[in-house]
Amino acid sequence: MIERLAPEVVNGIVLGSFYAIVAIGLSLIMNLTGTINLAHGSFMTLAGYLAFAIMSRGGSFWVALGGAALLTMVVGVAVERLFIARLYKRIPLYSLLLTFGLSLIAEESFRLIWGPSSVPFAVPTNLQGSTALGNIVLPTYRLVIMGALVIVITALLLFLYRTRLGLRLRGAVQDPDMMAALGTNTRVLYTVNFAVGVLLAAIAGIFAAGLLGLQPTMGNSLLMPAFITVVIGGMGSLIGSIVGGLLIGLTVSITTLYLPAASEIVMYVLMAVVLLVRPRGLFGEAGIFG
């Protein structure tokens, strides 16, 4: 029993960490600027393809990870400066539509450049195979992902809660005008914030490419669970995103074990249940609308 369940639990935690990390990126951007970044999935896919390109030119996996993540972040900063920043003064609908348009362009571009089917994204051989913990055998790559994502989330929390820049970001979420009045350049802050969100997406995208296979729609397939994660965790809460992500990941993978047909719908059921019991989400703060 435990031998059968344990890999699914690990699977669920890995999946959940992906959802969490994508959801945190989305949340950061949403909380500060009100932008629902529908291009978030495109950044994940882009990072995957860039890593693939670096590796196919002889770079190692870790070089590809760092290089592609940074390049994707640069693209993210350019997109924010060139397009999204123009819309901060407008209602959120416009940035939603803008990122929607960008994601259409991105997905089709990936298809044109790298083809419609998945490309062979190979993780290094020492990360393949499996590792035995007692009499439980687990895939090594999943354990590596788990470790890496834990490090990333910890680093992010340290950045937000232990650095001055993090403090300013959190301050700007509460009151951007006051932050500006106190002498912080909030335009730069918005860009930094967007870059951090994209960086998280990029890291998740590169690891996901080795796990799920790399194709033009890869990122978008992770985007919807991330939205659900934000809703379940409660908008505006990073802890909520982490807990929500893990909750969804575990629920999905355990459902896959016992009732495969319901594996996609189960997270929506979970969302509906959470919203019925707690309309603001698990860790969301109460507002006048609920």
Partner 1 sequence: MRLRANAVGTSLIAIVLLALPWLLPAAKLNISLGTTVLLFALAASSVNILLGYTGLMAFGNAAFFGVGAYASALFAIHTVPSLLPAVAVGSIAGMLSAMLVGPFLIRRRGIYFSLLTIAFGQVYYFVAYRWNDMTGGEDGLTVQRPPLAAAKGVDDAQFYFFALAIFALFMVVLWYVLRSPFGLTLRAIGQNEVRARYLGIDTNRFVYFALTLSGLFAGTAGALYSMSINFAYPLLMDWHQSGDFVMMVVLGGTGTLWGPLVGATIYALGANVLSSATEAWQIAIGALFVACVLLFPRGLLGLGSRSGGAAPQSLAMEAGAEPVALAAQGYEPVAQRDLG
From CA 150, how far away is CA 18, in angstroms rounded?
10
CB closer to partner 1 out of 210 and 216? 216
Binding mask 110-149 for partner 1 (x = CB under 8 A): --x-------------------------------------
Instruction: Give yes or no for residue 19 binding partner 1 (CB under 8 A).
Output: no
Binding mask 198-227 for partner 1 (x = CB under 8 A): --------------------------x--x
Q: Are 267 and 252 in contact (CB under 8 A)?
A: yes
Instruction: Give yes or no for residue 248 binding partner 1 (CB under 8 A).
Output: no
Angle between helices 2-33 and 186-212 (to 10 degrees): 160
Segment near partner 1 (CB under 8 A), from 7-15, 65-73, 251-259, 261-269? Answer: 261-269
Q: Of the candidates 22, 36, 73, 222, which one interacts with partner 1 according to CB under 8 A?
A: 36
Residue carrying structure tokens 């500006």: 180
Q: Of the candidates 18, 23, 28, 31, which one interacts with partner 1 according to CB under 8 A?
A: 31
From CA 12, how far away is CA 171, in angstroms rounded?
34
Instruction: Give yes or no for residue 252 binding partner 1 (CB under 8 A).
Output: no
DSSP bridge pairs for 133: 136
Instruction: Give yes or no for residue 47 binding partner 1 (CB under 8 A).
Output: no
Instruction: Give yes or no for residue 20 binding partner 1 (CB under 8 A).
Output: no
**What are the residues binding partner 1 (CB under 8 A)?**
30-31, 33-34, 36, 38, 83, 86-94, 96-98, 100-105, 107-109, 112, 173-177, 224, 227-228, 230-231, 235-236, 261, 264-265, 268, 271-272, 275-276, 279-280, 284-290
